[in-house]
Structure 1
Amino acid sequence: MIPNGYLLFEDESLLDSTVAKMNALRKSGQFCDVRLQVCGHELMAHRAVLACCSPYLFEIFNSDIEPHGVSHVTFDDLDPEAVEILLNYAYTAQLKADKELVKDVYTAAKRLKMERVKQICGNYLLSKMESHSAISFRNFSSCMGDGRMLSKIDIYIQEHLLEVSEQEDFFKLPRLKLEVMLEDSLSLPSNGKLYSKVLNWVQRRLWENGDQLDRLMEEVQTLYYSADHKLLDGALIIEEHGMFGVGAEEDHMQLVQKKPPRENSNTKRQPSSSTSGSSSPSGLASNTPKPCRREWKYIASEKTTNNTYLCLAVLDGVLCVIFLHGRNSPQSSPSATPCLMKSLSFEAQSEELEEHPLTSMHYARSGLGTATLHGRLIAAGGYNREECLRTVECYDPKEDLWTFTAPMRTARARFQMAVLMGQLYVMGGSNGHSDELSCGETYDPHTDTWAQVAELRTNRCNAGVCSLNNKLFVVGGSDPCGQKGLKNCDAFDPVTKTWNNCAPLNIKRHQAAVCELDGFMYVIGGAESWNCLNTVERYNPENNTWTLIAPMNVARRGAGVAVYNGKLLVVGGFDGSHALRCVEVYDPVRNTWRMLGSMTVARSNAGVAALGDVICAVGGFDGNNFLNTLEVYDPETDEWSDCAEALSSSV
């Protein structure tokens, strides 16, 4: 077309052809005038192209003393693959990155000020966020200073706090435990107002008293909610009225007599009537602005029991969990997570029709170790929303009574327990802070003592443990390097006290159920990364081989397993979306699985063991609450029951 005598032609293929040729020239190093040194890798490119896409590089090129020479730009903190992805994007307008690299691409895009790419990567991460990744995504967004992502992640956490609180990342966050005394006529304010007061109290302790946040987290902090609705230090009030805590089991939050607030050695406290009388921890004068404060933010909270709250907040830039318990009487002590009991439909039911629930454990426990020893059920360790536990409880079915035995040497959760040569063995797990464990210990029931055993070769939690042929086997699990699912299998000889490698699993697994049956070891379900598995493997110690057998009907991780009458019963667990009630049984003769009667409540990461003629399921997490309840399965009736009558006739 020739309007007004001028030739006008649009070649739609030229742009694509030119872009493709320029990218080919880049990859072959032709006509390149930029060398990017990225962690020892050299990437060639063209200055004009990168200057158009990256304002950061434009500023560098624009300031070059010799603009016509070859520019050298060094990055010692970026991923070379991520930078290569950005170079491809600059030449082709196509962003292609494996999901494992998206965070690295985001980081590189932020450094190069490529805002569009950063936004696209952020949107992708938000679309993939689930309860197990919310905390890590938030930590990443905080490091990147991305307020848009943080606000969206915080909204997600507010809507899914209970699910998030059951994940490993949440479990490893630092935690501040508060005990708030109330006058009889007072009650705690609503969540938002309550935690605004808590944040103000922590700020006063840090900025006015010179405390350090990690020191505040070392023990339970006792506070007092006054009649004029202020949250005050409880130490002086306790001292004035002589209120002393009653020593309870160490895993309980308990009221203790606190020392008065520590004075900073470089600071003198000024009278409170002064306008700005308290000096900062750095010793600045009262008229000097306070030092730069990092982020303080209330994110989400949940009332977990009658007067107990769980909160996720940012304190002085640190993402923390806050546990708060309010009580009216200093003599009372917060109980373990209460069990939700079924109420009777009619209060006027006759006594002979009343059913008495099985006695609950003293502590709610998830990710606990469970076994039967000398006709009793042992429940060790585990965690709740507060912390990992050392305590060990023993259940006598004849008395329907839980009692304490000697506590473990190390607080641990996400582990399994096995009986070997008349003793209990526990290996690995997590300590509730930041570490997977390599240590193990064994319990001697005759002396009621725990002793250390040879450590694992690698730190592991969520591994399966069982005894086979007078050896202790540890299978799968996850490690500190972030591998969610290992193939490792190790055997411990209690006589030589040494570990030896066995053949690896066919499939990487963590949170699998493991047990021995008829001279074979079975590894059931679990997860590879976060994808729940229904596959099952059987280990033959005679030829050191693993064989895949019939898969379960339901994919599940965090399930429990017990042996009964030559068959495997797999109980509960988590299917990736919900905690499970369902149960299925494996017949090794037919190599088949079939469903059985479901539990009375859903349980993931519960303890499961055979006791007499019944199967017991204890503790776990139902999707909302950590449990301390016990229920039993009767194979004769194919029913689960939480009533004492169901157990008394079977043991």
Structure 2
Amino acid sequence: MSGCDQKCETSKDNVSQNSVDEGLPRELSQLSLSSGSSPEEFHCNKGHSEATLKNIFTYYQSQKLCDVVLIAAGVRIPSHKIVLASCSEYFAAMFTGSLQEAKLSEITLERVDPQALRTLVHYCYTGIIELSEETVEVLLSTATLLQLHVVTSTCCDYLEKQLDPCNCLGIALFAEQQSCLNLHKAAMDYTHQHFVQVVKNEEFLCLTEAQLEILLKSDDLNVVTEENVFESLMLWVQHDLANRQKHLPNLLKLIKLPLLSSEYLIDKVEAACGNVSECQPLIMEAVKWHLLPERRSLLFSHRTRPRTSTIGRLLAIGGMDGYKGANNMEMYDPRTNTWTPFMRMGTRRLQFGVGVIHNKLIVVGGRDGLKTLNTVECFDLTSLSWSTLASLNTHRHGLGVAVLGDGPNSPIYAVGGHDGWIYLNSVERWDSCSRSWTLVAPMAGARSTCGVAALGGRLYAAGGRDSGACLRSVECYDPATNHWAACAPMTRRRGGVSVCASAGYLYALGGHEAPANAVGGRLACVERYDPATDTWVLLARLSYGRDAMGSCLLGNRIVAVGGYDGAQYLSVVEVYDSENNCWRKLSSLSTGRAGAAVVAIPPPRNIF
């Protein structure tokens, strides 16, 4: 045995299997089986196919034995029908069907680039094709016509690697015209991700109104604020003001004007669009959103739903993870639906509270596993550094923490908790100007592991535990009067409850009714409080009954993170869909944790 010839010896019992393994025709295996009882021999030339195709290519080059001539723009390309039909579904249907071309020796292909056709015919013989920026698009369109699927896919992969802010819109349009769905999606995803850079290029300025409308509709535009989107619209309009100003009212509907600052609305939007009568209702809608926050539940629309990149990120901080307690953080990115490790806390803390003010995390109280703490730490999200703030007046764990207001100097409140000996009804307020904690009016009753949230300029404390049992009661603090007032109680007793405010309502999630160390008794039910009517209503249930979960408003949706179901620490993360009254799962935490502080932080400034 020598060269490419390989001698294959086998018995009757396994010759059929070896025939299949070596790629031999079934007829050959059947022939060997039908012979006598002695072992059969046959030779398998593994280079046969390659050598044969190489010989056929030689005939193609010398234009011998060709049985068809393809003609494109006057250029004649002699070739072999059997080769073309073997590679192209287009030619297979043409030469083996009932079409007239099956009998013709010369076939003219209309609106086909001759050089691209010659390159693709060459590919049919060799399996080799050369791509360049100058030729890839015409090769892709021609390969799509001829149904050379491998070439089409190869061209799409090449174009995807060439995506750039200056060409992604053009590639997306071309891919759509060629029905290359994967390439179109990749180009649009790239456009969304690099939107701020894309708008600086000529392709963006040359978009039609319909094309720009599709782009502005997307909630996936990667921008820091909605200002970026408004400015891109005005850039497009100003590029051809005489012909494009008429499109402004229709396109301005796609800008989330209520999410712009009131100053920007007056200084920029009103100045640029206020003289267009059809734009005035949109500007007024945005102004009402700012002036009448108590009516926002009536003003919800797609313009009040933030784009994914502007809602920020979610941090899950510390909590119990089944061991000594976690001091690490995980960050959730809503654009990618992924959790990634972030930073670590300066010290280990359990049952603590966190507030966010002006790009800073204020970590308050808790316990370190042995003793209850009154220490306070500050984590700067810009410099990624820790510092120490003035301590609380009272050691407390199981406290609730909330920020009242959204300004850089908004006060932080530390509510209730346990000092290691007794349940607390005391409340402290952090003043960022004096950088100190002062006691304010206490609650009517003591409560620990309660849910605390700010809503409508007031502070709410719901549920929790006192020295007796889990509580249904709810109290509301008015900073103007320094007074706590009772609200309608929840429908269920809830210790270890998580409370979150959204769209003018208060939401109470999960908790436990029985003692925290009892088996079972964890709640999956969720209820919503309306301060206008002082009533609670039950909503869709969580997927798991649990207490000690973290919850936070991310954008305009509530996210529930982790918790304890009585047997294990959970990694499950769910988001509430208020329009359909249901909970949908998001990507899970990397590890189960309960009692984690969950907060939303601003989007990073370097997202480009």
TM-score tier (shorter) = 0.3 to 0.5
Report the TM-score, using the length of structure 2 for normalisation.
0.43
Structure ranking higher in helix proportion? 2
Larger Cα-atom Rg: 2
Output the TM-score relative to the length of structure 1: 0.41
